[in-house]
Amino acid sequence: MSGVELPLWAAVPAALLLVASGLLTVTGSLGLLRLPSFQARMHGPSMGNTLGCGCMLFASMFVSSAIVGRPVLHEFLITVFVVVTSPATAMLLMRASIYRARSKATSAGNEVVER
């Protein structure tokens, strides 16, 4: 901790948020392993992307504000950025999976895959 002792009002919420963020992210990524199909797996990592990221960035905000001694809000930028961008990736991947399943089915001479 580079020798700086943080006041309790910053250390306790930051520690709680860090633990919550770690648990949420690891559960979300566990979904990548445990869920059965690709379309179900899409939902796992979005836990880490939303609340996991949010908790982590608030913890980071508490700690850096307490170190510098004034409100430091630039972590907020990452939150906004992740919240705005991760749905774009998820939507494109969902459409790619449907498109690929469909073109695979038609090229094999079957009917179009039931969504």
- Residues 73-112 contacting other proteins, CB under 8 A: 73-78, 81-100
Q: State in angstroms the smallest separation of the CB of 114 from other proteins.
A: 10
Q: How far, in Å, are 30, 41, 49, 107 from residue 34 at the CA level?
A: 6, 8, 18, 30
| Residues 31-35: contacts with CB under 8 Å, at least 24 apart | none
Minimum gap (Å) between residue 105 Cβ and other proteins: 14
Residue 35 within binding range of other proteins, rule CB under 8 A: yes
**CA 112, CA 115: separation in Å to the nearest integer?**
9
Residue (98 or 112) nearer to other proteins, CB? 98
The yes or no reply on residue 113 touching other proteins (CB under 8 A) is no
Per rule CB under 8 A, count of chain residues that contact other proteins:
79
Q: Does 58 bind other proteins (CB under 8 A)?
A: no
Q: Does 48 bind other proteins (CB under 8 A)?
A: yes
Measured from the CB of residue 107, what is the shortest distance to other proteins in angstroms?
14
| Residue 109 beta carbon to other proteins: minimum distance, rounded to whole angstroms | 20
The reply on whether position 4 binds other proteins by CB under 8 A is: yes
